[in-house]
Each structure stands twice: as structure tokens, then as C-alpha cells.
Structure 1
Amino acid sequence: MTASPVSETQQPESRRGSDFAELSRSIKSEGLLHRRHTYYAVRIATNFALLAAAVAGFVLLGDSWWQVITAVVFGLVLTQFAFVGHDAGHRQIFQNRKGNDVVGYAHGAITGISYQWWVSKHNRHHANPNHEDEDPDIDILVLAFTDRQATTKSGVAHFITKYQAFLFFPLLLVEAIMLRIASVQAVVTKDIKTFRLEGALLLVHTAVYLAAVFTVLSPLKALVFIAVHQGVMGVYLGCSFAPNHKGMPILGKDDAVDFLRKQVLTSRNITGGRWVDYLFGGLNYQIEHHLFPNMPRANLRRAQPIVQEFCARQGIPYVHCGIFASYRQVLSHLHSVGASLRTPALASS
């Protein structure tokens, strides 16, 4: 189902054009765009300490089925690395591009995902979130987010889309693998300028990873370890990104909205304490992040009430809910879109 919020929030052009500038002045006056070097130093050091502990546990356990637990730990820890890579891609860590890129490439090498490929894709998403024709995050082969997308599915994709609400979480098990495949494709087809550097980093990552796993573990245990590790990482990544926009209004080419409303109306925040901030890597403040993508993650919590109050004054819907409520909304939307494929006779009548 394609929902359009434009008519409900239409305002005179002169007023609409100044809204974001007014909000931006408030955010800057609070110093919320200032870099948080100490925060990121602690966060990165903590992640490396956790990774070192996971590696030590992996070596000490040796060829044991208890390594399944280690695989889960690796999946969780490396997703935290991916969150830092995300922040580097938005230049949240350092003021200059070079410093952020060094962090980004390093984290991409550790997670096995191409940094520049992901930055390019993610920037296109930020420019047009939930836009049916321009957001790569809702252009997925086996999922449909609008009725129009549902009609384009065929073969296996048609079957999956028909029951996509039930298959959504199982599909996330291969999300990490798909990110790695897309990274390799970007390098092979030279879709990124740094394809030589990224190719070398991905090659080293794969060689070290497979050598370690198959050296320490027997072949069967090694395959199970890889499956669990990649599956956990895929589910964690998918569960962190899915609540942000899925099930929110989807814009089309005829929906003319300004930057502020385009970002707020298509985004959803996840409420909770600091444990939610850590669990989601700051992505639970999706509205604030989309409005100010280069804002350091640690400042998003302070920006949230400012943005929410501003949206209330302007009459702009500001959506926020708990974790499980967000997943219910996502699945409800997917189930609704798939209905046209489950009951084609009704859809055509």
C-alpha cells in the first residue's frame, strides 16, 4: 500500500522552505554537531576488546561444538563494527573525509563489507528515503513495499512476496551474505573508484576468515560456525535497519515535499533507554539521524526532544514507538502489500 502524507502537511512554500533552517539553528546552538572524539575512541576500543575476547575464546575452545556460541558472539560484535563504519560513512567521527575514510575502510575490512559501495548506496537512500523509484533500500528482489512493486514479481520472488510477512525474518538470515556478494560485485564490475583497495581488503578478510575457521574447526563444524555467524549478523543488521522506514509512508514522483518533511514523514524512531541506543547503534533515532546525518551518534539522544517539539509546533507527524510495536507495523505493512498476490481475483475486481 502506498501512503502519501503530502496533502496532510501541505504548507505555504515560503514557510516550508524556512522550517529546516530554523530547526538547524536550534541544533547548532546546542553544539550537537560538534565531534565527539572521546566517545568514539571509547566505542572503538570497546569493540576491539570484545573482538579480541571473541578471538581468544575461539582459539581456546578449539574443535568444539561450543563454538556455535562463539559464532553468535562474532555476529553480534561485528555488527557493532558495522555501526561504527556507518558513522564513519556519514563523517560523524572526524570533521574531515580522510579520517572518517580510514576508520571506514578498516571497519569494512573487518566486517567483510565494501565501505565505498555501502556509502554510495546508503547516500542514495538518505537523499530519497522510502521513495518508490529512488530509494535502493526498498528496491529488493524478493520483497515488495507497494502494490505496484508486488505486481512486478514473478517466479520464486512472486511466491516469497506473497508470504513476505512470514518470511521476512527468515530472509534476514542471508542478509550479511548478500551484503558480501554485493560488495564483491561492486569490486569486480569496478562500480567504485577504490575497487583495487577494496578488492585487496575483501580478499585478505576472506582468506584470514576461512583459514582461521577451517584450521581450528573440522569441516562440518566450520560450515556450521560460518552459517551461524553470518546468520546472526544478518538478522541483527536487518532488525536494526528495518524498523527505521519499513511500513512508513512511501513517496512517489508526484509527491512534492521539502527536505524536513521528506525525512520526518518517512522515518520512525524506536523508544527505549540507553541499552536500546547501544543495541541499535544509534539508529533508533532515525528521524534525527536523517535530518542531521553527520551528527555524532552520542548527540542524537539530546537532539531528539528538540526535533520532536519542533515537529509538534509545525504540525508534522513524528512517529515513535517501542521495538516490538515497530516490528508489528513492519510485518503488517508487508502482509498488506502481499495480499494482492494471495487474492489476485479480489485485486483485479
Structure 2
Amino acid sequence: MEAEKKYVTVEELKKHNKPGDLWISIQNKVYDVSDWIKDHPGGDTPLLGLAGQDVTDAFIAYHPGTAWQYLDRFFTGYYLKDFKISEVSKDYRKLASEFAKQGLFEKKGHGTMYTLLGVTFLFSLVVYGVLRSESVLVHLVCGMLLGLLWIQSAYVGHDSGHYQVMSSPVFNKVTQILAGNCLTGISIAWWKWTHNAHHLACNSLDHDPDLQHIPVFAVSSELFNSITSCFYGREMTFDSVCRFLVSYQHWTYYPILCVARVNLFVQTLLLLFARKGVPNRALNILGILVFWTWFPLLVSCLPSWSERVMFVMASFAVTGIQHNQFTLNHFSADVYVGHPNGNDWFEKQTGGTLDISCPPWMDWFFGGLQFQLEHHLFPRLPRCQLRKVSPIVEALCEKHKLPYRSLSFLAANVSTIGTLRTAAMEARDLTRPVPKNLVWEAVNTHG
């Protein structure tokens, strides 16, 4: 029976890597997902990003055991002939299997319920404070509480997007829309689109959208080569304006984070109204309309324009703490240029992530994402399990001599600023040819 099997080589598999001709391999069986790409629940980005290669580790990371039964309908009849599984991948798969046997993926705890209750309480306080108090100080505190509400609500949207936090898929989708679109104004469709790409191509300068912040930030001088974003499909141009902004990015980092939420609003609207093929577009737009109804109405209830501006800026500034958290996990980690490889899943995740060490009582503040490496390796693992598996993941990294970086919140900020400053100093290099910018030259050559 073994002699009757049909085989393709790794090189032959690589040729099937484009829309309309998209093959992948899972545990040495080759599947044709060319037609499935439009119905894939995770969108087309993951399949396009890993097309033409073995994706076993990524499939294990993102899919429950029940998903395996649906693969046979895509089987081409071919097996992968000369694919060698790395020792790291073997250990990773064993670990994922062990976690599944222990039921860790199903033991979600009550974190989501507590967070939702907390969000409800915060929302009530904010509304009450705005409507019932005439104190400027109370209104300032309400704006800050609204920012905290957005942070916690975003964690619920993140968790429900990665795994089912509610009792059914329908309730889970409702939770996503409420926590994301309705409460924060950020579309869950936009989040899935970018976040899936981020996980699969962690810290790839040309594939990971979470590192593509030109012209404002550049975490590596590689971005000065005006490389093309494979995610957005456009060149990230390093021109004179970009050079000027990046040259001072270690100073502008925190101020920009305080207003970074505006960019997320813009990105949400661009996706929902300018991009084709957005899943659940109508539902996402409805959720966004809910946000843009209650938020401006609440702000309008404040007695003066000065207090309204103060309230909005306070809420944005507090939410900047979360943007800071997200960037700490990746900005000062390893980066690379090129296509992610399905056979170095574990290595890419360890290289591109950085954990934030904190005591257990602070876990609510970070939403579980302080265990960034653990989350990237096992994105379906509920946040309440991440601290438990952390020592196991660290031991596996040590076994294979891979980085396991865990820094304090302060040390992670210092490391991130250091990365930004290094790139900023390189951007000031006058020998790198870019179009002249008189403002930049005046500041940097004449003081």
C-alpha cells in the first residue's frame, strides 16, 4: 500500500503558492485550499501567507481538534516526500497535544465574566459622573475611567477572537461586536484581518502589519530601504519626511501613543468602507454606528468645549498605556525580512516576542498578554492558563537554546526606547540618500 502513494517534493509544493492555485501540507498530507480560501473563518491572509509549504504547527496552534475532520475534502491524494520535521517542532506538537489532553484549552475560568462585569461597572460610573456631576475633576476622572474601560473591553474582544469565551459561536460573535465595535469603536473585522497576519508572520518587517508604522516609527534600519509591505500591498517609502520623523521617534514615542487611537478609528473606517470581501461587514458597520452614537452624545453632555477636549484626550491618553503594552512585546525583539516559514514556527515566535514580568495580581491589567510568547505559541489557550504553562515553555526554549525574554514593565520600556533610538540615530546618517528636506537639514546640521 505504501508503494501506491503519490508524492510531491517540497520544491513542487512551493509552486502552488498563489490565489487560484494554493496548496498546503499538514502532517505530510497535501491539501488544495484554492477554493476554501474565500470561506476560511480566519480570512485569506493566513492561507496566502503560508501557501506552498507545510503549515502543521500553525494549524495546530489555531485550530481545535474538531477541525481535523474537515481536512479530507481538500486532500489532493499527494503526500509530501522530502519534508523533515525539526526537533523543535516535534517537541512543540507534543506539548500542544499534552495541553489538549489536560483540557487546558477548554478550561477558560471566569475571567471574561469578571471583565465584562467590570466594564459594565466602569461604563455606569462614567455615564453617572458625566451626567450628574458638575466637577471638572470628576469629569477628568471619568475620561480616564473610560480609557480603562476601553482597555479591558479590548481584552475581551481579543480573547473572544482567539477562542470561544462564550457558550456558543453566536454568543461569541455577539461578544466580539459588543466589546469591540460597540464599546471601543474598533472593528473586530479589522482586528482579525491584521491580528492573524501579525501572529503568522511575527516581526517580519514586510509581512507583519504591527511593525509597519512608517513614516512615524521604524524599529529597524532595514525599513530605510523602502521595502514593500506584503500585507498592505504598497511600498513603505523612506523619504525625507520619514527621515525627519524617525530621527526623533524615541522622543515622540509616548506622545504619539496618547493619540494612537485615532489611527485605529481611521483604519477601521477604511477597512469597512474601502476594502472588498470584509466578513460580516453590515454587522460590523452597525456596531461602529452604535459607538459613534453614544460616544459623541456622552461627550456633548459635558458643559464646555474645554471639558469635552479634556475628557476625550484623557480617555485617549489612558488607552495609550495599552498601545504601549502592545509595542513592548515586539518592538525590541528580533526582526527579519521575508516570508514566514512553516517549519520554524516555534523559532519565529520566540525570536519575535518579549514577555513582561509582573505579579499575579496584575494579570488583569495586562489581559494575559504579558505572557506574549506563550500566547503566540498557543493562541487558543485561555489567558488564565498562560501563567501555568510559562515555566514549561521556558524550559523548552532552554532545551533548544532559543530566547525566552521576560523583562519588567520598566525594563521593557527602556529596551523599546533603546531600539527606537538606535534606529533614529541611523536615520540621521547623511550618507543615506533620500530626497532633501530643508527642515531636517536645518535642525540637524545647523542646530
Q: TM-score, normalised to structure 1's length?
A: 0.89
Q: Partners in 2 of 1:227 and 1:89 — Cα distance?
A: 28
Give the number of the structure whose residues are more often strand, by fraction.
2
CA shift, 1:267, in A, is 0.8
- The corresponding residue for 2:409 is 323
Equivalent in 272, 283, 303 of residue 217 of structure 1: 303
Report the CA distance shift for 1:35/1:100 in structure 2 as closer, same or farther (over 3 A).
Answer: farther
Aligned length: 336
1:110 aligns with 2:180: no
In structure 1, the residue corresponding to 2:301 is in which secondary structure? helix
CA displacement 1:298-343 (0-9 Å, x = unmatched):
1111111111112212222211111111111111111111212223
Report deviation, 1:96. Answer: 5.4
Paired position in structure 2 for 1:82: 154
- Seen in structure 2, the aligned counterparts of structure 1 residues 187 and 62 have a Cα distance that, compared at 3 Å, is farther
Rate the CA distance shift 1:52–1:285 in 2: closer, same or farther, 3 A: same
1:146 corresponds in structure 2 to 220
2:203 to 112, 118, 130: 130
- Residue-by-residue CA offset, 1:201-242 (whole Å, 9 max, x unaligned): 212211221112112332221122112212321x12212201
Alignment partners' CA distance in 1, 2:141 and 2:157? 25
Offset at 1:15? 2.0
- Amino acid aligned to 1:98: V
Residue aligning to 2:287:
201
Q: Contact 1:311–1:317 (CA<8 Å) still a contact in 2?
A: yes
**Letter in structure 2 aligned against 1:185:** L
What percentage of aligned pairs have identical amino acids? 26
Whether contact under 8 Å (1:269, 1:320) holds in the other structure is yes
Paired amino acid for 1:136 = P
Distance 2:223 2:384 in 1: 37
Q: What is the aligned partner in structure 1 of residue 419 from structure 2? A: 333
Deviation at 1:255, TM superposition (A): 7.5
* One-letter identity of the residue aligned with 1:262: K
Contact 1:37/1:94 (<8 A) preserved:
no
- Within the candidate set 134, 139, 142, 1:70 is matched to 142
Partner of 2:131: 59
1:312 corresponds to which residue?
398
Please name the residue that 2:355 is paired with.
269
CA contact (8 A) 1:248 1:268 kept: yes
Structure-to-structure mapping, 1:231-270, within 5 angstroms: 231-233=317-319, 235-253=320-338, 258-270=344-356
Residue type matched to 2:217 in 1? L
CA-based RMSD: 2.2
Q: CA deviation at 1:194?
A: 2.2
CA distance in 2 between counterparts of 1:324 and 1:87 reads: 26
Distance 1:62 1:184 in 2: 34
Aligned AA (1:21): R
Corresponding letter in the other structure for 1:310 = L
Task: Give the structure 2 partner of residue 279 of structure 1.
Answer: 365
3-state SS of paired residue (1:258): helix
Alignment check: 8 A CA contact 2:221 2:427 kept: no
Contact 1:131 1:252 in 2 (8 A): yes
Residue ranges of structure 1 left out of the alignment (5+ in a row): 1-11
Note the 1:153-232 alignment, pairs <5 A.
153-191=238-276, 192-232=278-318
- Tell me the SS of whatever aligns to 1:321: strand
TM-score (norm 2): 0.71
Question: Is 1:345 the equivalent of 2:438?
Answer: no
Residue in 1 that maps onto 2:389? 303
- Following TM superposition, by how much is the alpha carbon of 1:139 offset from its aligned partner in structure 2, in angstroms? 0.7
Aligned to 2:228: none
Go from structure 1 to structure 2 and tell me whether the alpha carbon gap of 1:13 and 1:326 turns closer, same or farther (over 3 Å shift). same
What amino acid does structure 1 have at the position aligned with 2:362? V
How far apart are 1:280 and its partner, in Å?
1.0
Give 1:64 shift.
Answer: 3.2
Q: Which has the higher helix share?
A: 1
Which residues of structure 2 form unaligned runs of 5+? Answer: 1-83, 226-236, 435-447
